Each structure stands twice: as C-alpha cells, then as structure tokens.
Amino acid sequence: MDQGRRNAERKAVGLLVKLKHTSVVSFIQEYAVNISPGGMFIRSREPQPVGTPVRFEVRIADGQRMLKGSAVVRWTRPAEDVTGPAGMGIQFTELDEASQALVDRMLRHKSDLIAAAPTAPRAPSSAAKLPSVAPVVPPMAPVPTRASSVHAIPSVAPAVTPALKPAPARPPAPVPPPPPPRPSSAVDISLDDLLAYTPAPSPEPDPFDLGPDDEYSPKAPTDFNLTDLSAAATPGPQSPAPVAARPAPTPAPVAPPAPAAMQRGSAVELELDSSEDDEPLEFARPVAGHSQRPVARKPAPALTPAPIPRPAPPSRPSVSTPVIAPSAAKPSALPPEPKTSPGQVRTVFLTPPTGEIEGKGPVIGVDLGTTNSCVAVLVNNKPTVLRSREGYNTIPSVVSLSSQAKLLVSHRAKSQVLLRPEQTIYGAKRLVGRPFDSAVVNQVRERFHYEIMPDARGRAAVRMGEHVLSLEEVQGLILRECKELAEQHLGQKVERAVVTVPAYYSEPQREAVRRAGWMAGLKVERILNEPTSAALAYGLNREMAKRVLVYDLGGGTFDATVLRIDKNVFEVLATGGDIFLGGMDFDNKLVDLLLERFLKQEKVPFQGDRVALSRVTDAAERAKVALSESNTYEVHIPMLMMDEAGRPRDMHVTLTRAEMEAACMPMVLRTLDVVGDVLLDAKMRVSDVDDILLVGGQSRMPLVREKLKEMFGRAPHAGVNTDEAVALGAALYSGAVDRVSSVVLIDVLPMTIGVAMPGGGFTRVIERNTPLPAQRSFAISTTRDNEEVMELSLFQGEDTHISANEYLGTVRLEGLPKGPKGSVRVAITLRLDSECVLHVNALEYSTRKEMKATLATRYSPEELRQRLGVARDAAQAAEERRGQDLKERSGRFWGFLKKVVGKG
C-alpha cells in the first residue's frame, strides 16, 4: 500500500491544548510574534509521527476556545535534539471562521510589532556577547476556512499593516543547523547562559546592583525574565542585565544555550508539557496497527533547556493597578485573610463570607466615588444607571451612626452631617489603604470632622461610637448598598462587580478596594481606572479612531488621562492626577471666603463648634452648585454662633460667580498643569487631542470649561453625563467578563515603583506610564559574611526620597546559602501583570534555585528610618515637601476645623 493511501486511511488524533492564559488578549500578545498563516509548532515530549492527521482545539484557562480546526503533522523534533525543544510542527488544513479571524488578527498585531521594534542597544557591561539560537520551522501555506457560528474577532491593532506574505509549503525536511543571529534583532537570552558568561563579582560589590543609572530610565530599561528563565524583550530598547555569577572553584562546562525566539515567519509555538499545574491533555485513541507512544508527564530534569522565550508586546490589556500578590493567585479572586490571622481586617457592621466568593450571576458596574457613588447594570446589552432608594441617580458615599446607635448609609447618613458630624464618615476614599503613621495621614487626619485612628493592623481607621471602623469596611458598606439596589432591580442575587478607582491610586489602595468588595459579599472581577471606564462609555462600539483626553474632576480626586481609541481598543498613553484635589477642596475655599465675609460683616471672628462649621460647609457646597448656573447667590445661616456676650450671630452673605472663580482659580490651574504633564508624557501637543471628555461633578464648573477651551482652542465634548459616565463604562465592561469580547483595554503604571537605598534614597525600577504588563530585574548581594536573610523595601512615588513616597512593603529573602560578604547574589524580579498586580520573585545565582520572597513585612516609619539609616531631619524635610502643596491649597478652613476639634 502506498504512502498516500496509508495517510488517507489514518484516523485523526484528537488534541486538546489547555493554556494558562486568562484572556484572548494575553494569548494574542504572547504568541503573535511567532505566528504564520500556515501552522504552528506544538511543544511535546512525545510528538506524533509525521503525517498524522490532527483535530486540534486550543483553549485558555477559563475554557474559552481560541483555535479549532484540522491539521497534519509535517515534521517533528525528538527530545534528544539539542537544537530546540521537543515537539511537532503541524500544517493547518482547515480552520473555522473564528479561528481564521484570530490568526489574521495575530498576524496584523505581529506586523505592527515588527514595524515598531527598534534595535536593542547594549548597555556598558563586561559580559561577553552571547550567541542566539533560533529554531527553524518549515513555512506553511495558508489554509481554507469554513463557516462557523462563532463571530469573527475584529482586529486588535490600532493601525493595520499588510500581513506578511506566506511562504509556499514544501515537503518535510530535516531541521538544518540554526542560523547566526541577526545583529539588528533583539534576542532573548536564557538565564543559564547569562550566568555562565558573566564575570565574577568584584571583592566589594554594591549590595544593590542596579547597573548604570540610565538602565532604569524609560529610554533604556534593563530586564531579564526569571519566570521563563530567559530574557524577555520589553517594549522599547533594552539590553541584557549586567549581573555577575558567583565564582566557581573549578571551571565548569557551559550549559547549552537555550533556544531563542522563533524567527519571523515561523509558526506559533504552544507548550504541551508546561508544568504540573496544567490540566492533562486529551488525545483520541490511535488506530490499531500504528505505533504511538503515550504522552507521559515526567518531571523535568534539573537543567532542562529553558522554554522558548516570547518577547513581551508593547501593548497589553489593562485594568488597574498594582495589588501586592506574594503568590500567583488570580487577582479577581482575592482570598480573604483567615479569621485567626493577626492581620485580619476586623469588621463591625459587615459579615464577610467565610471563604472565597463563588461569583455566579450578573456583574454590576460600580463607580465608588469620594462624595457620591453610582451603580449600573447591563440589561439587554444596554447599560442602565440604578436609582437610589430616594430616587436619585447617585448614592452619597457617607456612613453615619444615629443618636440611637443605628447604622445609616447613603442619603440617610448624609442628613446627619449637620447634626452629628463627629459620627458621620465621608471622604473615606482619600485615606483607604494608607498606614495611620504615614506622612499623608499625619498631615490630613485633623482635617476631618470625625476622629481618625489606627486599627489593629496599623492602617488608618475611624471611630464611630464605641467602635473602630476600618476604612475598607466603610467602603464595603457603600458597595453593599450598591449590591442591594442591583438585587432589587434584577430580582436575583448579585455576587460580582467591576469597580472603578482613580487612575492615580496606589497599589495598597487598590488592594483595599478588593477587600472592601469581599466584605460586602462581592467578588471584584476587575478594577478599572475611572478615566478608562469613562472612555468606554464614550467610544465603545462607535467605530472611531481618536486620541481623547479624559478630564476627571470628582468630589475628592482628579485624574487626567490621554487614550488612543481605535474601534474597541482603548489604549492609555499617559496618566496623571492628584488624589487630594476635588470638589471638597473647592468647597473649603468657599468656606474660607464665607468666613472672611462673616468677619468683615459682624466684626467678630468665627468661634463656632463642629456643627456650626458643618453648616457653613453645607452652605458653601450649595453656593458652588448654584453659582455654576447663576451669577449671584444669597447665603443665609441663622444663629450660626453665640458671641462672648451670649448674643446670636447670623451669616448673611451674597456671593458672586466672579468671587467664587477667583477663590478657586489656583486649583483649576493646578489641574491644567497636570494635563500639560500628561500630554508631555504622551509626547503629544494640544492640537493632537481630538476630543476632551469631562467627568466628575466638579467638571460642571463654568471656569473649568472656560480654561480648557482656552488651552485647547475648542469646547469640551458635551455628550457624556459627568455623574454617570464612569458607572456606565464599568457596566459596559461587565459584559466582557464572561465571554470573548472585542473590547481591549491597555493601561499603564500610574506611579513609579522602586527600592529604598541606605540613607533613604529611592532607586526607580519600573517607571510611571510603563505599559502593562511589565517587569524589571536587578541583582543584590550580601553585605555580611554568612548572611542568611536579606530584606528589600519597596516604595511607589516620584520623589527622590522614600519618606515622600508610598511604602508598599518589605521583601524578605530567607534561606540564603552561607558565604563571604558579597559572594552570594540574588536576582530580584518585580513583575506587574495586566491587572497591575505586583509579583516578586527571587533567584539565587550559584544554585539557580528560586527563593522564598514575600512582600508581607511592613515596618513603621521609625523602624524604616532605623533599618535604612535615614537621618531624621532628611525624612522630616521630605514629608514637609510632600505636604507643602496640601497646606497651600487647603487655605484657612483646616485652621478653623482644628480649632473646633473636641468641641461639642
């Protein structure tokens, strides 16, 4: 029987490939650089024989299908072949419509990556240049498609370039020797080779070996991927990390170099034998008479060649922010701390679930605001804002305790602001997730009517009656109110939510929001940045191609974000903001103005108590809203205070819009400064912005619109509801949580992450506005003989001194091998995934063993000063520098408040 007949009679092998990817976007980004129109390379220790027909299906972690079709094994590489990993190259014979659309989408994305990839310069280093090895895969011809009921996935690339011309198919041939490396291409280098080729450390190495200063600038990032034991190509020019291996007593043979990334035009490579955590593969039983070795899942030897590295793409899916994750747990399913844990967030009014939330049913969108929150749901693919119990489209973010010790939330709580200000909690969004003894809390804790104090974990908390209430629980009470409104509207249980936060939120604050959702019985499926969510409400499914500025001035925070919208791809180019600039600060300026006029009118300074000051604040807010519509407003507060003679004093003041705008002008100009900085980071001019979106209630102020018009030469867009846009965008995105969607969100790191140096210096590692996902690696060495434990403190911020930045935590490295000072070196990798979750990995050089690295240790500012040898006067100067701007913009209102603290 001839060969053709034998192939015709052979039954197809059923092949199911399951990958760890959590979304179609991450799948595209990892494999786009290695895709060809004709086929793919599947890594397997037991490849199928050449000529075997295959019916394959590729799925990701949540069960979504990526590719499905038929193929034929055209060539194989056995396990003993050292030129590359074992596996088989298959040629597509048939793809369904959705699979072909995905392949086309990956090809377009690959074209953009190739067009944008610069030549990678080498940083100054004494390490020898390493050769690269690229496996050669026979090119495969494009395949016919067949109809499918699955909708085609639209293009992900903002600008579509012509796909690479496929090479004609050719008969199987032996794999030729690897070609020499292309000098202009950025190649990946295995960590084994990196350690083998680098020189020995100097006798007295720097304990923090971060290389030249410019290596951690945005222009020349240095990075090697410790997860895959290979150097990952990150966006922009870069060079191998100049690290040194521990000197060996005797020469050792150099390990064979790990295979580098496949050349352009080769097939996509999938890993079948990835790890023990992967689900087992499913094969159809082979036909009798054909020998076929079963796939055995054997543990890899100690020096297995590194997997083929995949260059990191310049664009990536977003969402938010960093959340510290000591392990690789899924960020959307943040596990609660055990009830017996000493670091547990204790609750007073909420009863958190005992375990992980199952997370079934509908997903709601929540705009968790400083002064007001908003909840929306997706009904028949249309977002709908839910009304509060009182009929409003927003919910006041206020929690209060009545005189009968009854908990009040939302509008009922807001009514207590004038009656019981010391028992009414507002503005929790500004302080949630911050340590009580941090510089920011120390500067602002006396600026609220209620008492701020530490909880059992040392975080900022509030006193409510006899209880100490964590700010996470305050946020959780607001989220529970949103959850109950949604359940009432939908008529079913709600356990999942997409929650929005300011783009400039720090990593601990984002973690606190997730925990607040868990307290409320909600699984936070995604944390979206508020400007990105507003852009979704503006541009989703509108087939537009624009560069948009989102100007988000809310009740307590300000964000400015520039995005590129291309159909349903929303790419953040740069972001900036100020979490202590919002409508509350505008109100305080008007309080100053009213009290000045009161002094001028009554010839008596204000000496009222907390209730009296709350009445003035309420009148200021009403005046601000009214003066946005009219030119004058009468403020009348009868019996505001009693003078020393016991006579009542009234406030009767007429305010004009001009007076209000003069008082608020410095804060509006501050927002424009932030806008200018963001445009500079995005490398854009004002003329490059196609549209301006106003979000947040304070953006309704006529002065804001007037100044933006002066800056950009045109009026802002008026088609988005400033109060509802963020919640509507979150609801729209909730529709993409459970299914493959054409919506792609691409975000950036809002603030720089770096390490603390002895003396209090701050070394920047991952710069702000770095596209996500991202990672950077560096080396540290022991500073004492036989040192077995090392610590590394991480901060987030833009100041050159750690005292003015946010403290993230301290990485503790345990189990170091004993050795002389400087001889033990550890590679530290900080990795931010597409959810902006921060992971820390450590690898000891000489043994190449992964070490235990936990980011759970937290020290007080005083403990940090002692451990890092920070001079007290330098730390104090940095804290004062950080708080100076807050003091300047706060005016005299906080002085009045401080005087009345403690008065009944």
Query: So which residues are the catalytic ones?
Result: 367, 429, 530, 552
**Inter-residue contact 747 to 561 (CB < 8 Å):** no
Three-state SS for 399?
strand
Alpha-carbon gap, residue 34 to 190, rounded angstroms: 18
The sign of the CA dihedral 592, 598, 604, 610 is negative
Alpha-carbon gap, residue 521 to 398, rounded angstroms: 19
Alpha-carbon gap, residue 31 to 562, rounded angstroms: 28
* Tokens at 402, concatenated: 């009545």
- Helices (H), ranges, 540-681: 583-602, 610-627, 657-681
- Helices (H), ranges, 692-780: 702-712, 725-734
Three-state SS for 177?
coil
**Inter-residue contact 751 to 804 (CB < 8 Å):** no
**Inter-residue contact 373 to 392 (CB < 8 Å):** no
> For residues 734, 270, 58 and 528, what is the CA-based torsion angle, rounded to 10 degrees?
0
Three-state SS for 63?
coil
Identify which of 156, 238, 256 has the alpha carbon closest to the alpha carbon of residue 197: 256
Residue type (1 letter), 50? V
- Helices (H), ranges, 420-506: 439-444, 471-490
The CA angle 102-105-111, to the nearest 5 degrees, is 145
Residue 142: how many CB atoms within 10 A of its CB? 18
Alpha-carbon gap, residue 505 to 323, rounded angstroms: 11
Site of tokens 């929690």 = 399
391: left (phi over 0), alpha (psi -120 to 50) or beta: left
Strand bridging mode 395-396 / 789-796:
unpaired
The CA angle 109-115-121, to the nearest 5 degrees, is 120
Alpha-carbon gap, residue 332 to 832, rounded angstroms: 15
Identify which of 375, 372, 371, 402 has the alpha carbon closest to the alpha carbon of residue 387: 375
Three-state SS for 9?
helix
**Inter-residue contact 469 to 462 (CB < 8 Å):** yes
Q: Write the CB contacts of 861 (distance below 8 Å, at least 6 apart in sequence).
A: 437, 438, 439, 803, 807, 875
Alpha-carbon gap, residue 565 to 690, rounded angstroms: 10
Site of tokens 């969108």 = 365
Q: Write the CB contacts of 632 (distance below 8 Å, at least 6 apart in sequence).
A: 654, 655, 656, 657
Alpha-carbon gap, residue 782 to 784, rounded angstroms: 6
Residue type (1 letter), 564? R
Strand bridging mode 399-401 / 789-796:
unpaired
Residues paired with 340 in a beta bridge: none
> For residues 42, 47, 51 and 52, what is the CA-based torsion angle, rounded to 10 degrees?
-90
Q: Write the CB contacts of 514 (distance below 8 Å, at least 6 apart in sequence).
A: 323, 331, 334, 524, 527
Q: Write the CB contacts of 643 (distance below 8 Å, at least 6 apart in sequence).
A: 604, 607, 649
Helical packing angle, 610-627 and 583-602, nearest 10°: 110
